Structures are given as C-alpha cells and as structure tokens.
C-alpha cells in the first residue's frame, strides 16, 4: 500500500544479490566512459538483468559512484518533491459550504470557500465520498483517482489542491469551473458547429495525450466529464475509472465506463490500451457534430452488439475532413486506430480536420474559445443543475467503514505544492534561460530553437521541463541540472549550467572545470511515469 504517490521504472523494482565477480566488467565499462559513451551502461545492465531470472548483484568496482549517479536518473521519482504530505493538514473545518453542485450514490460535490490558510477566500469544488457506502472496488478507485489527480499537471485537466479524510468520508478539493459541463451546453444546443467541435477536440486531445504519456488510460470520456472554465476552455475531470501504470505494450481488462462510449476491445473484454480512449474520442466527436450517438440500441445488450458489429452510419452533411477523421477513429482493430501508432497523438494532430489549429497557441490558451459562459459573481452557479444548487448544503459526519477497510485509505492526504508556503525557496518554475553552448561549439540562445513549457518533474538539484522545437513542433523533455549540487531549492540557467536537446535515450557525461554532470533529454512523447 503506497503512503506516497510514486512512479517506478525498471531499476526501481530490483533488489540485487551478489553472484560472481563482475569487477572486470566494471573496468571494461570505465574505458567506454572515457570515450564518452555512458549510455552503454543502460544497455549492458538492462541486458544482464533481463538475462538473469534470479536476482543478482553487480560489483562495479571503480565505476560504482558513476553508476549510482546514473541510476539516480531513472530510479523511483517520489512525488513528495511536489506534494508535501502532512505539511499543512487540511480538514472540513477550513471550508465553508456554499452550494451543492451535484450528488451521486456515493456522495456529493459542493461549492466551497476556503476560510483558513494562505489561500483563504479561494473557491473550490469539494467532492465528498462516504467510505461506508463504497464497495472494495470503489474504494480502490477512489484512491486511484486521488493518485492520478495528484500526479497530473496540465492546463486541460482539473487540478487537485487538497485531499484529506475523516473517519467516515474522503474529501477531494478541486478546481471550481464556473462554466459547468459540456453536457449541459450540448443539451441546450443539440449539436455544435464543426469549428466549435474542432476547438474542444483539440484541447481534449492534448489532455488525453498527457495522460497517456504517464501510462494512464482515462476510460470515461463523455460530455458530463468535460468541464468549462469561465473563459470557455475545457478541463476533464472524474478519474474514478482510470487505469494507471499501463505501458503502451500492456493491456487492462476491466469492463468499465459508459457503455455508449466504450471501445469494442473494452466491450469484448479482450484487453485494451490507451487507444480505447481514441475510440471514445470519436464517439464524443460524432455526438457533438450530430446530436446523437453513433452506436445506441434500445438496451445495453443491443448497444454492445452494435459497437462490436454495426456499420457506422455517416451523416453526409459533415465535411469530408470530419468524416475522414471519424472513420480513422472508429477502427475496431485498435492497432489500426488513429492515435494508436508510434506517433501517438501526432497522428491526430496531423489530420486535415485540425489543419487550422496552432497547437502551441492552443496549449498556451491563446486561441479564443468559441463559447464563453455567462458568469456573474465568482460564486454564481448559472451553469449547474438547479435541482442540486437549490438544496441547502450540509455535510454530516459519515459512518466509519469496517475496521479492516481503513488500510485502503492510507496515504490519502495531500496538499498541492503551489499551496505550500516556504518563503525561503525561490520559484523553481521560473527559469531564466541564458545563451547555452551546444555540443557543436557555437553559442546559441536556447529559446531561439526551443520553447520551454510546463514542468515535468522537479528534484532537489534539477528541474525537468517540456519543450517544443519551434520549427518541427517535436516535443522533448529537457533536464537542467545544477552541477554544483548544493543549491537545493534553485536551478539557475547560468553559464555554469547546461541543457541540451537530444533524441530519445541519448545520455552523455561531460566533464567541465567545476566537476562532472549528467545531462539527459528524452523525447517527451515516449516518457513514462518515473522516466
């Protein structure tokens, strides 16, 4: 049971026991290091670990310190760098209930105002779940939702600010998005124009791609789970059915989701990957363009049969580009589906339907949304169901679950790093980039060729950011490391700090006057959690 959110990769799963003398192997590798080919370490060690089914220990002799440094680049990444669990415990008394936004069988969603702490006065949506009414499966999914929300950081995904629990309830404190959900707008307008649909789908594609890059399958894509902020940009929410830690070559087998949006491989339970989300993406596109669902029978059984075998009835009033994209998404063989190839979301971004989208501007929210929700006061709830908002908000103490269920909720508490007050720490997220010497020896300003985006990970001595090549729009992750190793809370992009752009898995070891540093850059689309 994880008390902290963490992501593990190959190295982090191994404990090694001594077997044989491998010091000569260490000496041999040292020779390659002198030639600058440190990436040989990854290939050799992975090969040896894969070949030895029994657990082994590698005595690396003189290269042990370098190996430990290398291993630190790929070992478990603890989200406690971002999440200061226990630093500032939140509890229900810190939130004032304003309105009920929604209610389900397991709990409610409230509009609340924070009345204590550094963010006093801030409005949030508070999701409250009753522990006792959650089945074991739902308890696991509640913890899964909290884990995923704590890990993701994207402009088109709802942000988790706090998570805490009482004896009887679980609490998730999320963004309050005043525009309501896409389902409400679709219900009023029946269908959208292609330009509107293009905008929503483009933002949604970026959000799904971010989840997929973390090994997450969303599995519950539908209009009810797409929220609009006060400007009209989308954010996806509700990760209770999501599956995390799935590599692209592995499958999940749960039968879950809303039946009309399920991919065929989910319906027939033969195993599904992230490509199942692109089928649901197509269902949502069809619904927004036509006002109806592509596969819907008179009951659940008939709907499933239609998903598995029925021919798609394509409305002829749709543009050729829209029809082409729908056909590419509705491939029953998931390996043939658009977005399932090696290029992932790039296949979708290159489709003619999105030819007018500037993806960089879209990510920065510089493209004006087609619809701006009417908003008044910050606490107004025009775009939420009056059946709920008219109710008096009350949060009674929940009945505690059985004694043997408490372990399922260990490690639930959470506070977002942006809410942790550490005045002595400069902002890790703000990096001034000065001219950086590239390997070819010419001085070049880093931002001439690349545009720095959001953080992927922040460590004690380095920060990893997403960056985009301005010409090709290829995405990379760049790690900027403070080689002095003493500035725990600050990464300065000064002449003594290095950053470089290299293809996937290129790693190099460079010696400079003040010491040796590792510099790594990965193609961002290939990064799994923890890489």
Binding residues for ATP: 127
Long-range contacts of 397-404 (CB under 8 A, 24+ apart): 397/166, 397/167, 397/168, 397/169, 398/130, 398/131, 398/132, 398/166, 398/167, 398/168, 398/169, 399/130, 399/131, 399/132, 399/168, 400/131, 400/132, 400/167, 400/168, 401/131, 401/132, 401/134, 401/139, 401/168
Residue 21 φ then ψ, to 5°: -100, 115
Residue 222 annotated as catalytic:
yes
Catalytic pick from 147, 196, 209, 220? 220
Q: Angle of helix 40-51 relative to helix 23-34, nearest 10 degrees?
A: 160
Catalytic pick from 22, 225, 273, 389? 225
3 state SS of 464: strand
Other CB atoms within a 10 A radius of the CB of residue 52 amount to: 12
The tally of CA atoms less than 13 A away on the side-chain side of residue 422 is 17
Angstrom distance (rounded) from CA 453 to CA 450: 10
Torsion of CA 395, 401, 407, 412, to 10 degrees: -10
Residue 482 annotated as catalytic:
no
Cβ burial 254-269 (10 Å sphere, 16+ → b, else e): eeebebbbbbbbbbee
Query: For the chain, what is the radius of gyration of the CA atoms?
Result: 25
Q: How far is CA 8 from CA 144, 146, 235, in A?
A: 16, 18, 27
Q: Please, are residues 17 and 159 in contact by the beta-carbon 8 Å criterion?
A: no
Angstrom distance (rounded) from CA 111 to CA 383: 13
Residue 119 annotated as catalytic:
no
* Cβ-Cβ contacts under 8 Å for 207 (sequence gap 6 or more): 154, 156, 157, 234, 235, 236
Q: How far is CA 297 from CA 162, 422, 438, in A?
A: 41, 56, 60
Angstrom distance (rounded) from CA 168 to CA 171: 10
Residue 247 annotated as catalytic:
no
Q: Which residues are annotated as a binding site?
A: 127
Angstrom distance (rounded) from CA 48 to CA 19: 12
Catalytic pick from 131, 143, 198, 222? 222
Residue 258 annotated as catalytic:
yes
Catalytic pick from 133, 166, 258, 447? 258
Residue 277 φ then ψ, to 5°: -65, -30
Torsion of CA 307, 309, 311, 314, to 10 degrees: 10
Q: Which residues are catalytic?
A: 220, 222, 225, 238, 258
């Amino acid at each position: 049971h994880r008390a902290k959110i963490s992501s593990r990769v190959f190295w982090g799963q191994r404990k090694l026991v001594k077997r044989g003398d491998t010091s000569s192997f260490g000496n041999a590798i040292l020779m390659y290091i002198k030639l600058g080919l440190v990436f040989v370490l990854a290939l050799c060690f992975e090969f040896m670990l894969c070949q030895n089914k029994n657990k082994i220990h590698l005595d690396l002799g003189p290269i042990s310190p370098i190996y430990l440094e290398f291993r630190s680049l790929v070992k478990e990444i603890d989200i406690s760098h971002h999440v200061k669990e226990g630093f500032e415990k939140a509890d229900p008394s810190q939130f004032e209930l304003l309105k009920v936004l929604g209610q389900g069988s397991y709990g409610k969603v409230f509009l609340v105002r924070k009345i204590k702490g550094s963010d006093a006065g801030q409005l949030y949506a508070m999701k409250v779940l009753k522990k006792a009414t959650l089945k074991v499966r739902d308890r696991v999914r509640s913890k899964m939702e909290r884990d995923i929300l704590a890990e993701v950081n994207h402009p088109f995904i709802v942000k988790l600010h706090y998570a805490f629990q009482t004896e009887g309830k679980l609490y998730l404190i999320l963004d309050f998005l005043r525009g309501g959900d896409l389902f409400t707008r679709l219900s009023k307008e029946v269908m959208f124009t292609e330009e509107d649909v293009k905008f929503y789908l483009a933002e949604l594609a970026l959000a799904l791609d971010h989840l997929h890059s973390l090994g997450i399958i969303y599995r519950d894509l539908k209009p009810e789970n797409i929220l609009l902020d006060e400007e009209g940009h989308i954010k996806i929410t509700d990760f209770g059915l999501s599956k995390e830690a799935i590599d692209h070559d592995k499958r999940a087998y749960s039968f879950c989701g809303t039946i009309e949006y399920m991919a065929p491989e989910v319906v027939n339970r033969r195993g599904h990957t992230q490509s199942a989300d692109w089928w649901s993406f197509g269902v949502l596109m069809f619904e927004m363009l036509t006002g109806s669902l592509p596969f819907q029978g008179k009951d659940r059984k008939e709907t499933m049969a239609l998903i598995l075998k029925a021919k798609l009835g394509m409305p002829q009033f749709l543009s050729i580009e829209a029809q082409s994209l729908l056909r590419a998404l509705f491939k029953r063989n998931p390996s043939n589906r658009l977005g399932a190839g090696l290029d992932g979301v790039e296949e979708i971004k290159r489709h003619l339907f999105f030819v007018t989208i500037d993806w960089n501007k879209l990510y920065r929210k510089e493209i004006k949304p087609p619809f701006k929700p009417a908003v008044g006061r910050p606490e107004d709830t025009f775009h939420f169901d009056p059946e709920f908002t008219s109710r008096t908000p009350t949060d009674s103490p929940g009945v505690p679950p059985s004694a043997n269920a408490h372990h399922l909720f260990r490690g639930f508490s959470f506070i977002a790093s942006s809410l942790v007050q550490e005045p002595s720490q400069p902002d890790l997220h703000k990096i001034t980039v000065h001219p950086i010497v590239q390997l070819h020896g010419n001085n070049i300003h880093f931002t001439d060729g690349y545009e720095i985006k959001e953080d992927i990970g922040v460590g004690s001595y380095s920060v990893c950011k997403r960056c985009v090549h301005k010409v090709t729009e290829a995405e990379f992750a760049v790690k900027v490391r403070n080689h002095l190793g003493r500035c725990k809370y600050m990464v300065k992009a000064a002449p003594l700090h290095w950053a470089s752009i290299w293809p996937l898995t290129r790693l190099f070891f460079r010696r400079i006057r003040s010491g040796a540093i590792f510099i790594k850059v990965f193609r961002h689309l290939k990064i799994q959690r923890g890489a």
